[in-house]
Chain A
């Protein structure tokens, strides 16, 4: 079913089980095609594409010019050999790329063919198309989905099919289903869908709540059926992905500018020489006609000048080197391979190596200034772990050694043995044995604590086989808590709408569930009221500490103080905390309250408020039990990586779809937010004005403070942003939510947002939509001349990844969207450090060195012709042999410079990581910019000048040792060519910092090859075969056997190299950069032998707490008490008639509430669905 390619599709019609009908519309199918060629079209299309490139077209024009005999100053082969080589290399690269694209297309398309109709074994299924849900394995056509990959939220969401279609759950019924859907055309609105289902002469309205969008994951739902509405590129997710842009690096852009400059320079030289030729022909050439008559076409000196101009363009075109672009591509390819091969970016758990998916951006990695990071799955592992707790004033969870010193928990630390508990979850790890001991001692507080955890939640258990429990939790936090209780002997085993069965220390105990006082964002707590087998009624409550503490019985005051301290401690470690409390209820009181509750749940008006009041009433005077601390597990090494990257002056912004509190908590735990920061600005206005106000005041706050600290004209400094930013000593952080961001991204607020954000050390944007992520990146890209990098793992990061200069995908996670859209992918956030500080830095360094040398080399090589022009009547006579011109760039000098570009290292990888400041030159564009270009071309020009004039001085009077004359053109050519090859080889020797065997081989090899080819081309044999093509016969032999020629070469080499050497020595000696210092250090270290460096772990301090409570969502209490989510078999018998009215519209309520919470709730389903259509 598929992409339509109507010009304008007004509406979409899809009919179930009517392939012929649907085929009429030619909608997009789900196949992806990214490859460009097939075997037959490859050659023509590829050649056509290649000649569209300016460089290649330019060389083609040159080639045509060379064929004109009047102009041709060089044989055609001097251009065609390099051009063909370039075309072949590029074609091979394109072919390889396309081959891999074919392969990956095949993989993707095959994956789609494995579409699951039933996902009974795996509990999650991706949807690959936008699907209208018809029915599912769950009662009432319910379908649970997770959208973590889309918005970073980890809680489950619910979709419900139309009631009329929810009983279509068998293939035969489905085959008979012939409804027709008429809906909106494909668009990118993830939270909106309008359509109508026509079936059996009835109309049913369809909205977003009945859609499973591509990209979301089915959870706790065995199967579902649906109609594919949009597929392939028409799915809402794909429509929302942003356009793939062809990314080019800033070096690329610079290179293009420089090539234009060189081109202008070339034309200038051509004009100068053409004018020279006109003058020469007028003054001398005219009189020289006795020996050299003018050609018949040469009607005037001016026309001769015109032709000379073109002749010189041909000769001097090597300043715009044909091989530059290809060499750059080859280098980047090599650098990409080094990234792919890096074992230190290989993640063994997933068996995933880093992958450079684009090979054109490597050096940009060395210039990154802004990193935009997703949170869930990128910074965090999306795993919650029960890490610590405080029970009755006693903390558990830390491990101490015999000296009472806290022991750092590593993977080697011994875990607590839970073998006493047959129902335990083996993946659960806890390190503090004292808690188990307390349990075994039957400490009543500890027991009550875990009982609460086992009872007070909305988790659904599933026991597939005896003792094999699977919990389906609405949020990972809850799952972690219930799992903890399970391991400590309070196993939550089964539930019905009215009972909860625990297995307490091996004894099965069934509690009667009287009420669930559900969670919501205002209450920030949830409670259950249960009757235990002894008949006592108890209220168990868990929630944000502040909320719980307000509702405690005065008798808990002391405990509250202790627990409060513990909470601070937990929060300081970045843990998500919850306070737990209970209350014994009086039977009579509860009866009364329950009646009120039942009444309240049936009223129409203000039901929510009345219920809230009732909940509030009963949750008073509770007794504190303790507190839990859950670790939102960061990926390994995240705080260290962030610390290291910020030392490298890289600004990290976190953009997450998750809630403010969660995001801030992560900010704290990965050390981006700290207590010692001067101020954390939270922007959460609802109107444009409010946001503006908040932004202004935040900015004024910063400026106001800095005004005191810096004695300067603030107004002036404001104008100079960068200077100004540096004067801010104080540290600030900015947290902004999606609502406010929408306003702040409007044009009038953009500048102030950007100013403020750049003044802050840390920026966190939460509850942002994928498009907003892209907008933020776009904002920075547009206004700051900085390289941006976006890193994420989910489909919600795709737009941002595509927008940023560099997109990085975290691979090995469930979804592949981010990786597919990314330029680089690896499995762990911490590899970013190595990617940037090592690979990026090296790539940039190598590329810059390469370019500098390349331009130098070509200027030195080519401009000799310019100087010679003044001595040969501006006749476009070349200095060198044509073969030398052909081979110089592609044979004699290509490999050493490639080896340098591939292998050079100024500083090794350990030191690159140890001194992150080494990264800064890349951000400031110091290694290759217009100034550097100017310097290296200047050096090239000077070299060409010396290369010409020293032999000129010597040759004007040169005589061979046997007396024969020697100042002939061929000997001159061989001498200059040999000097040139030696000079550029010596120069690359000086420029190379890291001489591997390959460098040695290439440099010495190139020199050897030069001499070998030189003698071969000027040998008797080859002259005998092609006398007119190799006129230099014997020159090398005659020339290089002369001592004086070698003296000239030696002199030229020394004179060309020494000035550069002096300059770089003075620079290193007097103004050493950090790189030079580290190099020095590195060398002295190497002499001393390796040293161990110990690095302390970053210590976090924070007073944040209760993040879980704040970030938790509306619970599924209603769902449980209504029994709707229970399997039919379990529910049918146990349904309580009293609650039915209550439950009739629970879904609507819930969905309504959910929408209040998430400003844009788009949900995507990747259901490989459904055989239906």
Chain B
């Protein structure tokens, strides 16, 4: 070792060398400290990519991913889902007329009914979603057009909504509550589900409208000004309703003060903007009543729609979805397939690399290291 042969000597010679300079008193030596950190000798783990570490990793990934994938795939396939498009684009669809006539300004609601059949019974709790397509809830100007302070019941924000809400900030100088484009475009179709039993009578399926929003949204993020008491008083006079709304915010659900005003769950759900232009949002929950009968037995159903929400103008679609869920949420074939694919590829790669390694390995020992 060329370099190290000098070191020993220097370190030996150090005391004399340093004291040689010293006059009276001890002159502080400039010799750097011999710490592992300063000498870059920190103990370290030095992993190297070798066949011994990389190849097993591939097999392990393969062996873990494939079962997960299969599990996900099977679970996802076991989930029952029913989807129906009620936009009314085609001439023969029941909502065609409503779709053509609907606009924000309609005062008389247009209703239409869609019949459908469930081939299989839905056993556990069923979740009813509405889905919108080609609806850009994730557009920047749309996303930012809200005032979270206002929605949190902040007094000042209520009187003076954020500029972001433009152009739905004030009407004639009166602040809008809730302000902004998101709130303004609240989904306002009403969906009702009826089961047509064997003798042809319509039985309304009970739809639960609470418990559809995130707990944090409902209890933390959204709050009514001045608590939930006497909303009418809290909102009256000083505020106007969003332009497109038929009724003011304090009348969203007059029957239940816990679901009225800003903490109305339909409103909260809408306010949680979707990431992608095609999305679904939870609308109602159909709870399982007894363990013996399925929540939604197979058979004929009718969906009654109060058609208020115009989507045709921008080529949008509206859907109603019924779905059960499992431990991993709703139907989602993507994850299962992806896991199976990735797992298989990793396993396959492991095999290929193993073959390559044994066939073409060029690294002998250190003999061929030139000095």
Contact = CB atoms under 8 A, between A and B. Distances in A.
Interface of A: 69, 73, 284-285, 287-288, 290-293, 295-296, 311, 338, 340-344, 346-353, 411, 636-637, 640-641, 644, 647, 830, 833-834, 842, 871-873, 875-877, 903, 905, 909-910, 913-915, 917, 950, 952-973, 993-999, 1020, 1023-1024, 1027-1028, 1031, 1033-1034, 1037-1038, 1042-1044, 1047-1048, 1051, 1054-1055, 1058, 1061-1062, 1064-1066, 1068-1072, 1074, 1076-1084, 1093, 1095
Contacts of B57: 1061
B31 A351 contact: yes
B167 to A, nearest CB: 6
Q: Which of B129, B181, B272 has the most CB of A within 10 A?
A: B272
A1069 B359 CA distance: 11
A342 B34 CA distance: 9
B325 interface: yes
B1 A914 contact: yes
Nearest to B363: A1072
Contacts of A966: 329
B51 A346 contact: no
B356 A964 contact: no
Interface in B321-348: 323, 325, 327-335, 338-339, 342, 346
B273 interface: yes
Contacts of A1079: 46, 48
8 contacts: A290-B313, A343-B11, A834-B3, A950-B338, A954-B335, A971-B275, A1033-B220, A1044-B328
Nearest to A641: B2
A35 B342 CA distance: 61
A833 B6 CA distance: 13
Interface of B: 1-7, 9-11, 13-14, 17-18, 20-21, 27, 29-34, 38-40, 42-51, 54, 57-58, 61, 65, 68, 72, 104, 125, 127, 129, 134-143, 145, 147-149, 152, 154, 157, 162-163, 166-167, 181, 184-185, 211-217, 220-221, 269, 272-282, 285, 310, 313-315, 323, 325, 327-335, 338-339, 342, 346, 349, 353, 356-357, 360-363, 366, 368-371
Contacts, number: 355
Contacts of A954: 332, 334-335, 338
A998 B37 CA distance: 10
A1065 B32 contact: no
Nearest to B154: A1027
Given A343-B11, A969-B274, 7 more contacts: A342-B38, A959-B331, A961-B327, A965-B281, A965-B282, A1028-B157, A1068-B48
Contacts of A1065: 49, 51, 54, 353
Contact of B40 (A288, A338, A1054, A1066): A338
B149 A351 contact: no
B92 to A, nearest CB: 24
Given A915-B369, A965-B280, A872 B136 contact: yes
A964 B366 CA distance: 61
Given A833-B2, A877-B143, A1033-B221, A953 B51 contact: no
Contacts of A997: 42-43
Contacts of B61: 1054, 1058
Contacts of B221: 1023, 1031, 1033-1034
A1081 to B, nearest CB: 4
Contacts of A1083: 46, 48
B140 A73 contact: yes
Contacts of B31: 343, 346, 348, 351, 353
A967 B276 contact: yes
Q: Which of B46, B163, B216 has the most CB of A within 10 A?
A: B46
Closest 7 CB pairs of A and B: A1034-B216, A959-B330, A348-B17, A972-B275, A341-B38, A875-B140, A287-B314
Given A351-B30, A1062-B349, A1062-B353, A875 B17 contact: no
A1043 B325 CA distance: 13
A107 to B, nearest CB: 15
Contacts of B137: 969
A1064 B49 CA distance: 8
B332 A958 contact: yes
A995 B313 CA distance: 59
Given A343-B32, A876-B140, A956-B278, A963 B285 contact: yes
Nearest to B55: A1065
Contacts of B184: 291
Nearest to B370: A917
A344 B331 CA distance: 65
A955 B1 CA distance: 60
A1043 B9 contact: no
A426 to B, nearest CB: 15
A1047 B30 contact: no
A1095 B46 contact: no
Given A353-B30, A969-B274, A875 B44 contact: no
B138 A877 contact: yes
Contact of A964 (B29, B40, B214): B214
A910 B4 contact: yes
Contacts of B323: 959, 963
Given A343-B34, A1061-B54, A1028 B149 contact: yes
Contacts of B213: 964
Contacts of B353: 1062, 1065-1066, 1069
B139 A967 contact: no
A69 B280 contact: no
B273 A968 contact: yes
Nearest to B13: A348
Contacts of B313: 287-288, 290
Nearest to A969: B275
Nearest to B3: A913
Nearest to A968: B272
Contacts of A292: 136, 139, 141-142, 145, 181, 185
Contact of A963 (B14, B43, B325): B325
Contacts of B27: 351
A1033 B216 CA distance: 7
A287 B127 contact: no
B10 A346 contact: yes
Contacts of A875: 136, 138-142
Given A348-B18, A1066-B353, A877 B282 contact: no
A971 B281 CA distance: 14
Given A1051-B335, A1070-B360, A351 B40 contact: no
A621 to B, nearest CB: 50
Nearest to A976: B275
Contact of B334 (A288, A957, A970): A957
A1093 B1 contact: yes
Contact of A959 (B30, B275, B329): B329
Nearest to A1079: B48
B34 to A, nearest CB: 6
B16 to A, nearest CB: 8
A1042 B366 CA distance: 50
A338 B34 CA distance: 12
A33 to B, nearest CB: 26
Contact of B338 (A914, A953, A970): A953
Nearest to A872: B138
A877 B285 contact: no
B369 A1077 contact: yes
A291 to B, nearest CB: 4
Given A877-B140, A1034-B220, A1058-B349, A293 B32 contact: no
B7 A344 contact: yes
Contacts of B140: 73, 311, 872, 875-877
A616 B185 CA distance: 117
Contacts of B134: 284
A995 B47 CA distance: 8
B45 A995 contact: yes
Contacts of B212: 964
A347 B14 CA distance: 9
A612 to B, nearest CB: 49
